Amino acid sequence: MTDTTHGQALTAWRGGPSRYALAGALLIAVLVGLAVALIVGLGSHRSTAVARAGAGERETARTASARVSAPPVATRGSGTARGVRSNVAEVADPTESSSFPAPASARHRAAATPAKAGEEVVAAGAPSDAEVRKELAQMQAVERKAAQAQQKSLTPVKGGESIGGNGTIPIPTNVPEVIQKVVAGANAIADFPYVFGGGHGSFVDNAYDCSGSVSYALAAGGLLGSPETSGELESWGAPGPGRYITVYANAGHTYMYVDGILYDTAGRSGVYASRWQVSPVDNSGYVVRHWPGL
């Protein structure tokens, strides 16, 4: 009898791993690959999430920084460029009867925005020496003519204290540009009718009450961002009179002096008479305000 055990074992060894062993090894390799892909994918997702979170935090930080460093908006408040509105309600104007309230039949064109009205003032350029001398001579001639015109116009119209002419005053040349713009704004609505509450829903209106009138002119100079009532104007700017502009206000009425000339709705000479007036008035009982530096 021949012993074949040794030969069979040698044949099996020479034939290499069985099909089952190869399948098992392949399955293990696939599982390892899937595990590696899963780990890499989770790491990438986590990195993306962290990056997004970091970007969000940086954006939030930038937004917060922008809010902190943003310049204040010029306009309302108590002596600062950025104040808090007191929300004082508009009350009946005790001087309304002398402001010639417009009847229902009165019609007037709508005003332009205060900023548009202020554009009547054009900043000077940079001329040559010869142009300066020429312009100086022209300016002196214009100033003489303006002084004569102002002297003539600052005569009250019959029926009140409103100035004559077309109801406007010449824009002064020896004052800061902001004051020139206030005058231009005041001129723009000088002959508009008086209606209680006019000019408060919007600066663009076809009639203005006392505080609406003052608010419009101040806004033309960039000194106010939205219409304020008489009571609110009691805390506008800073306390005391100003060099170029002084606002007088109480709960019921307000007016102002600009470059020494009275701008008031009370005491006008008619429905379409000028708000610029000749004679000063009794200022007792009013809070006195001005814009810092003006």
Nearest CA to 219 out of 293, 111, 140, 128 is that of 111
Separation CA 108–CA 195 (nearest Å): 12
- 46 Rama class: left (phi>0) / alpha (psi -120 to 50) / beta: alpha
Separation CA 71–CA 253 (nearest Å): 32
**Which residues, 6 or more positions from 245, have their beta carbon under 8 angstroms from its beta carbon?**
179, 182, 256, 257, 258, 259, 290, 291, 294
Separation CA 172–CA 198 (nearest Å): 28
Model confidence at 38, pLDDT cuts 50, 70, 90, reads low
CB 179 within 8 A of CB 245: yes
Q: Has residue 1 got a pLDDT over 80?
A: no
**33: which strand partners?**
none
| Residue 224 structure tokens | 């106010």
At 252-267, the pLDDT tens digits run 999 999 999 999 999 9
**237: which strand partners?**
78
| Cα atoms in the 13 Å half-sphere on the side-chain side of 1 | 3
Return the pLDDT at 13.
41
Return the pLDDT at 100.
79
Model confidence at 29, pLDDT cuts 50, 70, 90, reads confident
Nearest CA to 88 out of 252, 255, 285 is that of 252
CB 202 within 8 A of CB 50: no
Q: Has residue 223 got a pLDDT over 70?
A: yes
Q: Has residue 218 got a pLDDT over 50?
A: yes
> Which phi and psi angles does 101 have, rounded to 5°?
-55, 135
Q: What is the DSSP string of the chain?
A: ----HHHHHHHHHHT-S-HHHHHHHHHHHHHHHHHHHHHHHHHHHHHHHHHHHHHHHHHHHHHHHHHHHSPPPSS-SBSSSS-----PPP---TTGGGG-BPPTT---PPP--HHHHHTTS-------HHHHHHHHHHHHHHHHHHHHHHHHH-SBPTTSSBB-TTS--PPPSSS-HHHHHHHHHHHHTTTPPB-TTTTSS-S--S---HHHHHHHHHHHTTS-SS---HHHHTTSBEES--SSEEEEE-SS-EEEEETTEEE-STT-SSTT--SEESS----TTSEEEE-TT-
Q: Is the pTM of this model over 0.95?
A: no
Nearest CA to 144 out of 165, 168, 173, 122 is that of 173
Return the pLDDT at 78.
41
- Rounded mean pLDDT, 141-167: 76
